[in-house]
Amino acid sequence: MSRGNDMKVIISLSILAKFTGEKFGQVEKTELDAHFENLLSRADSTKNWTEKIFRQTEVLLQPNPSARIEEFLYEKLDRTVPSRPNNGELLGHYMQDAAKDFGPGTPYGSTLIKVGDCERRLGGAQREFLQTSAISFLAPLRNFLEGDWRTISKERRLLENRRLDLDSSKARLKKAKLAESKAAAAHELRVAQTEFDRQAEVTRLLLEGISSTHVNHLRCLHEFVEAQTAYYKQCYLHMQDLQKELGRFPNAFAGNPGLSMASGGSSPQGNATLPQDAASAVETDTLKIEEVQAPATGTRKAKVLYDYDAADTSELSLLADELITVYTVPGMDSDWLVGERGNQKGRVPVTYLELLS
């Protein structure tokens, strides 16, 4: 065994002996004041909760454990993580490649292009959100755990060693019988007390710095919330634009009766409401649906492809597979027709219909 290892063993045994002496009541233990104990408790709580928040945020931002391990290894090796498309971007690529295969001019192909482009933009927004959150939120938490907290832990261990030395010096002074031994023990006690007080002050300053840590983490938390807000807002706007694009789809089914979906199917948009821009266009018209009369010629039968819930009293709710009579009137938006079923009448979206005659 080397001389360095021998010294480490001797020091460890010495500390163990002092600690054991306290446990068995052979050595008086120096107690820290209540304020100092509160600082220690708050520091431990800060470390524990920061670690939990940090780990769970990592899971939130990157649910794939393999990807997290890879990022961790690249970080430790001080290398850049290879750039790869995320799930949204990959889905967008697949949809657009499928559109090329099916034909971008077909209704399905052109829709795949639109949805694929939206998925790619959603993936890009997610990538930007992850990068922003990693810098503004995760990095400060990691810096505290790997930097400030390690320094605090080191100084606390030193303080504990100084306390054990002080307690041991007090015990030796009590046991000293001869005047010469008492003088030596008293000198040793003064030195130990000075070193303990100095180390206690250093540790106290570091522990009081936890307040600044809380302020810093509060600022980072606000930035994280702002990043999340911007991300979800961006996603909402992308999806809203996509819904409008699909709502303006140029009479795909009406112009191609043979391309109708299987009977009984539901709309890909679910019970979609009228896009805002289309609604505003109709609202500007002076057309009043209750005053509209069916023309003598030009009415057609139409099969309903999807269920549709009317957005207001000017529209007609539809059920998949039912047959209705439809016609257009001057001044009406080209994406809409007037539909009649018995004595019920209202505007209906063209893309939900297959014109039969």
What domains appear along the chain, each with residue ranges and CATH number?
Answer: 29-248 (1.20.1270.60), 300-356 (2.30.30.40)
Give me the mean pLDDT over the 327-340 stretch: 86
Calpha distance 95→112 (Å, rounded) = 5
Contact 221, 138 (CB under 8 A): no
Dist CA 20 CA 41 (whole Å): 24
- For 258-313, how does the pLDDT look when each residue is reduced to its tens digit (9 = 90+)? 444 433 444 444 444 444 444 444 443 445 676 677 776 778 899 999 889 888 88
d(CA 257, CA 248): 18
Q: Positive or negative CA dihedral for 159, 163, 168, 169?
A: positive
Q: Decide if 33 contacts 117 (C-beta within 8 A).
A: no
Of the candidates 354, 349, 356, the one whose C-alpha atom is nearest the C-alpha of residue 262 is 354
- pLDDT at residue 251 tops 90: no
**Average of per-residue pLDDT across 44-61:** 95
Q: How confident is the model at residue 42 (pLDDT cuts 50, 70, 90)?
A: very high
92's tokens: 């967008």
Q: What's the Cα-to-Cα distance from 211 to each of 43, 216, 258, rounded to whole Å?
A: 9, 9, 70
The whole-angstrom separation of Cα 231 and Cα 129 is 6
What SS3 class is residue 44?
Answer: helix
Overall pTM surpassing 0.85 (yes/no): no
Strands (E), the chain: 300-304, 323-327, 336-341, 344-349, 353-355
User: How many other CB atoms sit within 10 Å of the CB of residue 252?
Assistant: 16
Q: Alpha helix locations (H) across 24-63?
A: 34-61
- What is the Cα–Cα distance from 168 to 173, expressed in whole angstroms? 9
In whole angstroms, give the CA distance from residue 115 to residue 123. 12
* pLDDT reported for residue 293: 75
Contact between residue 306 and residue 266 where contact means Cβ atoms under 8 Å apart: yes
